[in-house]
Structure 1
């Protein structure tokens, strides 16, 4: 998930780059989350001795449940932006790797191919469809029912309620050049002339233009930061969720397709633990949030910081906006295959025109499976 980068942090008075450069290469984290009391499925001899999970950004609410699975006294490898500790009381370890800037912005799909130690990674469904021909992977769990991706603005005179409202306004939309934009433009929700694809993760232009443009962001991040952390703004923003018109699954937990068969027994035991941890995290996010704050404080994140207020606000939005919810069948983490197939249909012509056509004849069954989902796990 994109967030404030180093130059933004310096420009707006957040933490300077390299704050953690004096930390030891391998630092301990006090306590962990005491997950051992809850996560006890025996994994020794079933899963790798260390289950490696690749995230797509620094620690944040998207991955809170993954950090919740860490048992007592995890260790940080600050040089490699990794934290390792017991995976509950399962008999194996869990290694969580930061993504985004920590890996030179390589995607989890490409990291799957270059590092065979990675068992699971967090990917967006449109990324999986785009890479299905050359780097196929299969999603085994859907943490988000709705994407936290949004378009936000700061001019109080603007009062959009849908993406179509933004499109009709003709206002500049600052975003990164991703396939979903072409889908939204093709559907008539946005107009191509209004879209500026020079977005680079910063908010300096947004502030300089007094919030009169519409900018890409994540509802669990920028609204709180802008109101509470960016002194030059320090007021609320309004937003429209992209997921209302573009229902792509965001940050799914996936495995490289050619590793699925060999790890079937492991995934059968492991995926329900992730399900339970995600439900537990929603019920009581504080232990994992505190752990993520401590871990992030020990990493050289280039100005990216976590706070209790930011994470609590993200948890609230996850619940209140229906971002985290049970699947259509009432099971947490399950996939709606019709929804996935619809997304494949909408993306295929866009990706083909861009020279990154999906695998021929791609279907939902090629990219998602509920095989490992425990149907008894649901949010209350």
Structure 2
């Protein structure tokens, strides 16, 4: 089945947190324009999107504003407008400080779309240009809501299993967890749980699909292993969960077989041909934005923090967590170039291995996967500029 978006700490009670969501006076309703008197220089012709892309390029994310979506929010230029009712932000689509001639609208996922999968939402609302869909989610959706990834937003998944190093000083890897009877607490529906069992890393009896994003279980029972994100929980638990306030240890699941491309920017497969003239210019702009965000994430992290406050959904994501996430994405190779030195492209042999490895797990969960599904259905490098990469 599809990989549901994370359950992270959505509301952290005062016993576990040293910070609050936002002052009531700072969380207004409706659309709030950002003050700006800036004149935006026009981009050169090769970066102009007007005439080939929709007047508004709509990017649908799979969760609340967070640093993993930084390359998308990084596109927003001066004068952006925040719609706190619809949980979306729109403004001139800018790259290198230059106006590309169209607008971009970045929409929150999660509660804002009724916790639907992004692939499903893209077929409900065809105004969405691209959405963030993880590869196993694309396999799950292929029968009824096929999507094709056109750019990898991240090179590998930030999902991890974490543990208390004081309780388990002998644990160094996920495989060490599997040699015990400790519970592995995760969000129901994640395909990596079946993968860990199938690969013999975790015993089925250890799986506990009761994780709801709260730190309370981990704090009260440090003998467990728990899912998390290497871009968030290590900082949150050490600095923002008042009842813990110490480090955790972890291993990335990407290092033990969960090799999906997370939150890859994807189009409805049937719309690819029509969108191709746009994507030929838009995807390289998105690549540049990813490289720019990696080099200087600060202003975009500040914007993400502002949006969390304005949306006021109960999602807890401090500016400090966002700054930590942006740094760790680069440190851990989550936001990184592919082997050829470009950013955002796909290793198609890897996509094929993902298809082979995860299709049986997904069909065993009850989903129907087309027999003729190929790696080329799931992802394409057609629009990637191999000369654009992180320095």
Distance in 1 between residues matched to 2:135 and 2:357, nearest whole Å? 12
Distance in 1 between residues matched to 2:122 and 2:79, nearest whole Å? 28
SS at match of 1:265: helix
Further displaced range: 298-307 or 115-124: 298-307
Seen in structure 2, the aligned counterparts of structure 1 residues 330 and 33 have a Cα distance that, compared at 3 Å, is farther
Q: Residues 135 and 261 of structure 2 are in contact (CA less than 8 Å); yes or no, is this contact kept in structure 1? A: yes
SS at match of 1:288: helix
Compute the RMSD of aligned alpha carbons: 2.2
Q: Residues 68 and 326 of structure 2 are in contact (CA less than 8 Å); yes or no, is this contact kept in structure 1? A: no
Distance in 1 between residues matched to 2:60 and 2:354, nearest whole Å? 24
Determine the structure 2 residue equivalent to 1:164: 175
Pick aligned residue for 1:205 from 217, 233, 254? 217
Determine the structure 1 residue equivalent to 2:162: 152
SS at match of 1:215: strand
Q: Does 1:352 align with 2:337?
A: no
Q: Residues 80 and 90 of structure 2 are in contact (CA less than 8 Å); yes or no, is this contact kept in structure 1? A: yes
Q: Residues 165 and 171 of structure 2 are in contact (CA less than 8 Å); yes or no, is this contact kept in structure 1? A: no
Seen in structure 2, the aligned counterparts of structure 1 residues 65 and 31 have a Cα distance that, compared at 3 Å, is farther
SS at match of 1:340: helix
Further displaced range: 331-340 or 352-361: 352-361
Determine the structure 2 residue equivalent to 1:283: 295
Determine the structure 1 residue equivalent to 2:232: 221
Determine the structure 1 residue equivalent to 2:267: 255
Deviation string, structure 1 residues 176-226 (Cα, Å, up to 9, x no partner): 2322211221110111001101112222111121x2210011111111111
Pick aligned residue for 1:24 from 13, 21, 29? 29
The 5 Å alignment of 1:304-323 reads: 304-307=316-319, 309-323=320-334
Q: Residues 174 and 214 of structure 1 are in contact (CA less than 8 Å); yes or no, is this contact kept in structure 2? A: yes
Q: Give 1:105 deviation, angstroms.
A: 1.1
Q: Residues 60 and 306 of structure 1 are in contact (CA less than 8 Å); yes or no, is this contact kept in structure 2? A: no
Q: Residues 9 and 16 of structure 1 are in contact (CA less than 8 Å); yes or no, is this contact kept in structure 2? A: no
Q: Does 1:128 align with 2:133?
A: no
Determine the structure 2 residue equivalent to 1:66: 72
Q: Residues 58 and 99 of structure 1 are in contact (CA less than 8 Å); yes or no, is this contact kept in structure 2? A: yes
Distance in 1 between residues matched to 2:163 and 2:42, nearest whole Å? 44
Distance in 1 between residues matched to 2:13 and 2:60, nearest whole Å? 25
SS at match of 1:51: strand
Determine the structure 1 residue equivalent to 2:12: 8
Q: Residues 21 and 312 of structure 2 are in contact (CA less than 8 Å); yes or no, is this contact kept in structure 1? A: no
Seen in structure 2, the aligned counterparts of structure 1 residues 22 and 313 have a Cα distance that, compared at 3 Å, is closer
Distance in 2 between residues matched to 1:37 and 1:316, nearest whole Å? 31
What TM-score, normalized by structure 2, do the two folds share?
A: 0.91
Extract unaligned runs of 5+ from structure 2: none
Distance in 2 between residues matched to 1:82 and 1:67, nearest whole Å? 11
Distance in 2 between residues matched to 1:272 and 1:76, nearest whole Å? 26
Q: Residues 144 and 252 of structure 1 are in contact (CA less than 8 Å); yes or no, is this contact kept in structure 2? A: yes
Query: Structure 1 runs of 4+ off > 3 angstroms?
Result: 3-7, 16-22, 30-40
Distance in 2 between residues matched to 1:20 and 1:39, nearest whole Å? 41
Determine the structure 1 residue equivalent to 2:58: 52
Q: Residues 55 and 99 of structure 1 are in contact (CA less than 8 Å); yes or no, is this contact kept in structure 2? A: yes
Determine the structure 2 residue equivalent to 1:192: 204
Seen in structure 2, the aligned counterparts of structure 1 residues 325 and 35 have a Cα distance that, compared at 3 Å, is farther
Count of residues paired in the alignment:
378
Seen in structure 2, the aligned counterparts of structure 1 residues 145 and 193 have a Cα distance that, compared at 3 Å, is same
What TM-score, normalized by structure 1, do the two folds share?
A: 0.94
Determine the structure 1 residue equivalent to 2:119: 109
SS at match of 2:281: helix
Q: Residues 154 and 336 of structure 2 are in contact (CA less than 8 Å); yes or no, is this contact kept in structure 1? A: yes
Q: Give 1:49 deviation, angstroms.
A: 0.5
